[in-house]
Amino acid sequence: MVNAFVRKLSGLADLAEEDVATLVASTRQTRHFPARRDLIREGDRPGPVFVVLSGWACRYKILPSGTRQITSFMLPGDSCDLHIAILDEMDHSIQTITKAAIATISRPAMEDMLDRSPRIGRALYAAQLIDEATLRAWIVSMGRRSSMERVAHLMCELYVRLQGVAGASPSSTVELPVSQLLLADALGMSPVHINRVIRRLREAGVMEISRRSLRITDPVGLVHVAGFDENYLHRRLKTIATIY
Amino acid sequence: MVNAFVRKLSGLADLAEEDVATLVASTRQTRHFPARRDLIREGDRPGPVFVVLSGWACRYKILPSGTRQITSFMLPGDSCDLHIAILDEMDHSIQTITKAAIATISRPAMEDMLDRSPRIGRALYAAQLIDEATLRAWIVSMGRRSSMERVAHLMCELYVRLQGVAGASPSSTVELPVSQLLLADALGMSPVHINRVIRRLREAGVMEISRRSLRITDPVGLVHVAGFDENYLHRRLKTIATIY
DNA sequence: CGTCCTCTTGATTCCCTTCAATATGAGTGG
DNA sequence: CCACTCATATTGAAGGGAATCAAGAGGACG
């Protein structure tokens, strides 16, 4: 059984069997963390590369006023920048959202892996470019999308990302282990308003959030209100709209 | 005389003389573009790596509604992702803001360069990580900063970035060849409101924008209203606050 | 069973957008 | 050199979307 990391990278490059073995070996050393535990904090010296094998995490930054902004979600299979060690210190923190299994890849191990397999390197670079594209998509959302569109867009993103990694059969329902307060911190809105927007989306019949899960009742409609163009996720796989 | 690209990378890694020569040679092939000219468009197949030698450019995305969101500014010395060629298609466009001299580095040339000099590779990766950090900082700005803070923060960022590359003597005034409409597209605000915020900042005595130039009249004050922490730019150089 | 966190809904306030009009300035052609 | 045009900048007025304040309900957990 390969892990989420391998599943994700397999979708980004043609990995050989030995690559898979290398990746599995490199992520053998895993630690389990409870929810809401910082893996690394702003100002810390960057350490090894983190790989999320199960559970959710997020990158965030606290402002002087005390408010928080989440800059990205890390889902199973996601890892942080492969060359993070180049920098002097972290400019943001990383925290688990749920219980999570985190593997760490030391810098020498990472460099060894990049040296040995160009395919792994290619997959990791592709992953990084997708992460960047996602950051840009968030900027677009925050800058020019209405709150309805913004929430819908994030749900589309998370849905597609989860489908891409889970390898599970397409389902209209995915687990969404985030509180509305967390969504607020991710979307730059107030928790109260997030709640109202979710309600409007439910009343519009496109999606529902309940019991920590997201159910997409009208995929086409959701994609439409979100103005979602999944090209930025650079997946040449089935699209959310064509699954159904 | 070395170009802006070399000057920027020199600040990110200890380049040998041969590295400088390599970089200069790789950017010999430059083209001149007028203002407001697309270098590459969303949906296009990624081509060579673009390097801005002079002038300004920006990455942007057009939404279905027709509004535009700029996701980053490219100043002299900046380049786009070194591995951009991995992706199938561009998820955003790049356009010149002013007249600009753009060098292109073909994919083979880039790979050759990375193979030959680990120092150049290191500098390029550092540049990319800084770009990513800047994207995160923009997300934080859009999500959790007030319009005053947001404008002030962008001005701090641009000022520090310009100082980092220009190599010029520190000055309270830098060229800022962007219209208020462009700032609006970058900051996710309306042009009208941008105008009012700029006025308030002028009245507060911290900065002035006029005749396409930015004058910082009170650096400490500006940094303060912006809540600017330049750590994210990962410069171990003099800070905007300590220059004065 | 009490406590705390999350969710939900209402009321009020205000920041920012939109609409509108005018001013300023650069570039163009007569 | 001066009208003309168009982009940009500036300011006012009005409306709306989202934050804030506030209170209650539901649910998880020790």
In chain A the domains, ranked by start, together with CATH numbers, are: 4-129 (2.60.120.10), 146-233 (1.10.10.10)
Report the pLDDT value the prediction gives residue B200, as an integer from 0 to 100: 95
Report the pLDDT value the prediction gives residue B240, as an integer from 0 to 100: 34
Report if CB A210 to strand D is under 7 Å: no
* Chain A environment of B231 (Cβ under 8 Å): 43, 89, 91
CA distances from B21 to A71, B17, B18, B50, B113 (A): 38, 6, 5, 18, 11
Report the pLDDT value the prediction gives residue A169, as an integer from 0 to 100: 60
How large is the average pLDDT for residues B54-70? Answer: 94
Report the pLDDT value the prediction gives residue B166, as an integer from 0 to 100: 55
Alpha-carbon dihedral sign for residues A115, A119, A125, A131:
negative
Report the pLDDT value the prediction gives residue B93, as an integer from 0 to 100: 94
Residue A202: name the closest of A178, A185, A189, A221 by CA: A221
Q: How far apart (Å, rounded) are the C-alpha atoms in residues A169 and A73?
A: 22
For residue B63, what pLDDT band results from cuts at 50, 70 and 90?
very high
The DSSP letter of residue A102 is E
Whether chain A has a CB inside 8 Å of the CB on B227: the answer is yes
Note the pTM of the prediction, 2 decimals.
0.92
φ, ψ (nearest 5 deg) of residue A138: -65, -40
Average model confidence (pLDDT) across chain B? 89
Average model confidence (pLDDT) across chain A? 89
Q: How far apart (Å, rounded) are the C-alpha atoms in residues A59 and A46?
A: 14
Q: Which of A70, A74, A135 to mutate to test the interface with B (most CBs of B within 10 A)?
A: A135
On the question of pLDDT at B40 being above 80, the answer is: yes
Distance B194 CA to C20 C1' (A): 18
Q: Higher-confidence residue: B171 or B138?
A: B138
Four-CA torsion A232, A94, B187, A160, nearest 10 degrees: 20
Question: Tens of pLDDT along A108-166?
Answer: 999 899 888 888 988 998 899 999 999 999 999 999 999 999 999 999 999 999 887 65
Q: Where are the alpha helices (DSSP H) in B76-117?
A: 107-116
φ, ψ (nearest 5 deg) of residue A120: -65, -40
